[in-house]
Structure 1
Amino acid sequence: MLEFYGYWISTALLSALYLASAYMYATKGQWVREALTELGYSANNLVPFMIIVKVLGPLAILSRVSVPLSDLAYAGIFFHLLLSGLAHIGVRKPVGALPAAIGLALLIASFMTQNDVPSPYVQAAVL
């Protein structure tokens, strides 16, 4: 029962983090472009793509249409959060990496406590 609640709480918080970020990207586009430019990214084409990814990733995890699609979403979110945190650390703004660190903790908790049909990778990580 603890795994059930752990999964849903961590997945809901991770999804809320991503959907709030997508909302911010959509409503404060200029500010987001400036922030991404400070990190060294060309933001003109990146922002619309990231809005789509930040909405579809949590939807793929929550819908559990297929385990491989869910695993792909977990992997994409993992690499996004890892690279986001490293980008902030790389420009010497470690406070900006805090949401990515929180997201990584939520992602790991969500992935490790999957209910329904667990990913075969969870079983391999436990062994």
Structure 2
Amino acid sequence: MNKTSLPGVLAEIAEIAGVEAAWALVSAQGGIVVYIPAEAKEGHWLTELVGIEAAEKICKHFSVGNTGNRIQIPMGKFIQSRERLVKALEAGMTASQAALSAGMHERSAYRARKRIKNQKQGSFFD
């Protein structure tokens, strides 16, 4: 999985601290709101999880002035399902087939197919 296929906050984390750090957060804290302190410290759960360098980058990015910030960590299962959905659509499956194979709603498949189409058209005109 690359940085661009990650949603919102995970894409930000992947950009500043690496994809491994983003996935570590998903694995450990996916689906909940976590407090990211303004400064990384030894012994803090974030530092223990991703290492001091990555934790420092994450803390600096999400801090608000001299205070930390609360962020929602997306659930990994949804991200992986979305990837399977996109791959199935790109392989030529119908929206119904892709939704079944990814374990998602058919509406999600139609929306994903529209996004894929728009991205391809956008790159054509760039």
TM-score (normalised: structure 2): 0.30
**More relative contact order in 1 or in 2 (CA 8 Å, sep 6+)?**
1
Q: Decide which structure has greater strand share.
A: 2
Q: Decide which structure has greater helix share.
A: 1
Bigger CA radius of gyration: 2
